[in-house]
Structure 1
Amino acid sequence: MKAILVISISLYSFIVLGHHSVAEYDRSVVRELEGEIVTLHWRNPHVRFSLRIENSDGVEEIWNLEAQSVNGQDRRGVPRDLMQVGDTILVAGNPSTRQKNHMFMTNILLSTGLEIITQEAGDARWSENTIGSTLVEQRNDATKEAQGIFRVWMRRMPPGLFPRNLPLTEAAKEARASWDPITDDGIMRCVAPGMPFAMLGRGPHPIDFTEQNGDIIIRAEYFDIVRVVHMGETGDVAEQPLSELGYSVGHWENDDLVVRTSRIDWPFFDRTGVPQSQSSEILERFSLSNEEGTELAYTITVNDPETFTEPVTAIWTWQWHPELEIEPYECTN
């Protein structure tokens, strides 16, 4: 059982927010490994394998492999019992630049010839017999009616993007350069992210909106996050305590929900080491964007003068999925 291949591909021109340890794995390189599964842990924030291989010198190595979340694999129809300890598999993925023999998996080929695509919108590599590239219907509930934004939404792929060349201040550039994803990425230790990353996490994880005592509750499956949007707030926001998710105030502009969030005490803008100060303010707009009311346009603008020389904006679309429910994330370190 041997390591097979290393292939260079062109660098992405944008940062895609939210995959696990994004700064640790070199997405410009795809490596293939063939070996025996030694351990298999099926849990959030990501599925983990260890694989025993024989390298090109005939020496045995153990590789630690990661894939996207359990919830994501479930929603793409990947059964948890397809693989067992002792199985021989072929995997492809992006190697770590920080840890020896670590890789983020994108594809798995089983001995049966079935290929598992382990990330949403991924491509097949070896086989026409594949699973995992698209969402599967979990249940058919056509009786659910549309009620404005108060439904379950799933982000359309590909996700929204901030520009790769963020307009960073000199202080932010220095902070980013010193960031270590191994020691500084709390998500790897199941620390739930604050804003804005709480709304940016990658993977097929839905959100929903409900009303409660005149306010709006935004619930994200990712890390079981719950945000409260205070509607019609007239008090002094500056008197509110700092918190990871900040203090959100909302209002309606026709059918659009507009949310302004400040008082954020979360040190990072993203998972590539871009810092965030307590001066950060976030403006979000949720807009039904088609006549059928099945798409929700999301615009997020972050203004943090200590980090950015100008505000940064990303836009993407969520789709209504009446068959989905918010499932527990239950991250386990």
Structure 2
Amino acid sequence: MTRPRSEDLVEFDGKDTLTRRVTVSLAMCSAGSLVYAKMGDWTWEAVNFASAINVYTARRPDGLPVYLSFYYFRVSGSEGLYPNGITLGDELDVTSRVFDFGSQSVLTLHRISRAGTLPDQESLDPVEAYERPRPDCMYVETMNRWISRGDEKSNKGLVDASPVDFRHKHLSQLPTAYSPRSTARNARKNRSFFPSGLPGFAPKGAPFRTAYALDVARDLNGVRLVYFASYFSIADIALSRAWRASGRDDRHFIDRVALDCRLGFFANADPGAVFDIAVQIWQDERDPRHEFADIVISEQGSDQVIAVAGIRTLLRESDSATRGAA
């Protein structure tokens, strides 16, 4: 298949794979959550094609709305291509493949590359994404669950639901070894993707704690649930505060290379909610340029875990030098 020249034109192979060429616009690039929002749009778009239903207006049998919510989201990059390194005018090729994950869930893989660097017929195999990633590509893994409101006036008590006519059995199944189900489940249970830390990494100081009041003007989506991309922004806000508290400035935060970012979404929240956020930064004892941030977002008053994030970062040389001298 030939890749289209614009995001307005996409090609679908009739089963599970969607390709598109994207020009990075103002609406999808920033040091914050905009690029993750766009990746989420690509997931919804791919599932919309592959499942042959309108995911934007999906309904359960009794007619109430059903939403394709994000449960687990991971972006893996490299120094050549990483989420906060995408900038205005970049041209990207995006290949998206949707996998059968049952009647109430779906998993989507995306491969992002610089436009024209891969052959047009290059397929996306799970082995590539999970075991042999290309050094010049970025990979996105999203696990989504169909949910519906248990109480139409609240964002709490969301329930599993499957939309009418959701087609999934024709899709390929992801090998069990690659399934993120246990990864997300353990992150929720342990409040960390790496409860014992990463091998070779040591804690960099004590955990940093901060609070965040849910912003109803920015953090809610069109159906008044907390928008999944807002959690990326909230995690980054907490991390940037931790950076400032350690004596680093905003420029170093903007210049960081986010090599791996994973986020588990475990609950929603009502307007007026305040989040307690704990950030533990770990530093590679072999190479101080590499850091890992463990971030736990819980609701103030109930201590319910709302989301857990793990962000592995490569620091620029100037930042490493500054920190070494501090």
Question: What is the TM-score normalised by the length of structure 1?
Answer: 0.32
Q: Which has the higher helix share?
A: 2
Instruction: Give TM-score, length-normalised by structure 2.
Output: 0.32
Instruction: Give the structure with higher Rg (CA).
Output: 1
Which has the larger share of strand? 1
